[in-house]
Structures are given as C-alpha cells and as structure tokens.
C-alpha cells in the first residue's frame, strides 16, 4: 500500500476551524494543517495539544503543513522557542519534522525565527518543503 494513501490506522486527533491534527499509528506520523490566523490563547492551546499527543502516542515523524497559516506574534515565537520546544523534545520521540512553508511571508519568517532561537533545545531534524509529497518522502526515510 502506498504511504501517501489514508490507512485504517489514520485518525483525526483534533480538529477545529484553525487546525486539523491527524495521527497515523502505523507510520507513527502526525500531520498538522493550519488554517488562518490564531490569537495567542488559541496558538498556545494547540501547541499544548501537540504535547498531549506525543505523550499519549508514539510519534517519530511529523509534517506541519503551514500553507494557510498566518503570522505568529513575537511573544508567542519567544514562548515557543524558550519554553515549548524543549518540553516537546523531552516528551516526544520525534526524529524528523517536515514543515511545508506558508504562502504568508510573516508565518514563514516566524517559523524560521523560532527554529533558530529554539534550535539548541530541539532533539529532531527539521527541514522546509514546498509541498507534502517531498515532505512525506523525507520524513519516511527514518
């Protein structure tokens, strides 16, 4: 069965009008699809859901689809790099995180900024891709 097809073990872990988070048990793969702008409270709640997911399930691969994501506030970038990223690394077993870059330049710059600042506290490889096909191929190499 091709890895890009939905499997019986693929489930929606969380969904609202800002994000869809799916988890594939067989591939130990999380996919996130951001939609639109989120305020600080929504952003931090969603990242707390990420922590909950990697605590409850074995996750080694992650694809973050930021195609439709918007700007992330500077205070939330700081919080992500300083507090959230090291905690995510401690709790999880993620080996590779592929980020599909946003069409919104402000989101793209924010994500790159957070990775630069939080890089020391992150225990996984992160690469940027223009589409899901390339992102999936890369995370599946592990």
Domain ranges, ordered by start, for the chain: 11-139
The mean pLDDT value for 64-76 works out to 94
The mean pLDDT value for 66-84 works out to 93
Split at pLDDT 50, 70, 90, the class of 1 is very low
**What is the dihedral angle through the alpha carbons of 39, 44, 46, 51, rounded to the nearest 10 degrees?**
170
Spell 26-35 as b/e; 16+ CB within 10 A means b.
ebbbbbbbbe
pLDDT of residue 4: 45
pLDDT of residue 132: 93
pLDDT digits (tens, 9 = 90+) for 106-139: 888 898 888 888 766 677 888 999 999 999 999 9
- What ranges in the chain are assigned the alpha helix state H? 40-56, 74-79, 85-91, 105-118, 132-139
From 9-23, 36-50, 102-116, 126-140, the region with the lowest mean pLDDT: 102-116
Split at pLDDT 50, 70, 90, the class of 92 is confident
Q: What CATH fold (topology level) applies to the domain 11-139?
A: Rossmann fold (3.40.50)
Q: Is the per-residue pLDDT at 6 higher than 60?
A: no
């Amino acid at each position: 069965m091709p890895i890009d097809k939905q499997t019986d073990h693929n489930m929606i872990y969380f969904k609202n009008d800002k994000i869809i988070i799916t988890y594939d048990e067989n591939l130990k793969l999380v996919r996130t699809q951001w939609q639109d702008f989120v305020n600080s409270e929504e952003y931090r709640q969603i990242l707390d859901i990420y922590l909950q997911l990697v605590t409850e399930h074995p996750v080694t691969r992650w694809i973050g689809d930021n195609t439709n994501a918007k700007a992330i506030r500077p205070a939330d970038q700081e919080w992500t790099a300083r507090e959230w990223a090291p905690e995510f690394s401690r709790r999880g077993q993620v080996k590779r995180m592929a980020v599909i870059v946003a069409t919104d330049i402000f989101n793209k710059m924010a994500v790159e900024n957070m990775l630069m600042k939080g890089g020391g506290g992150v225990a996984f490889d992160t690469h940027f891709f223009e589409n899901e096909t390339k992102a999936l191929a890369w995370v599946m190499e592990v």
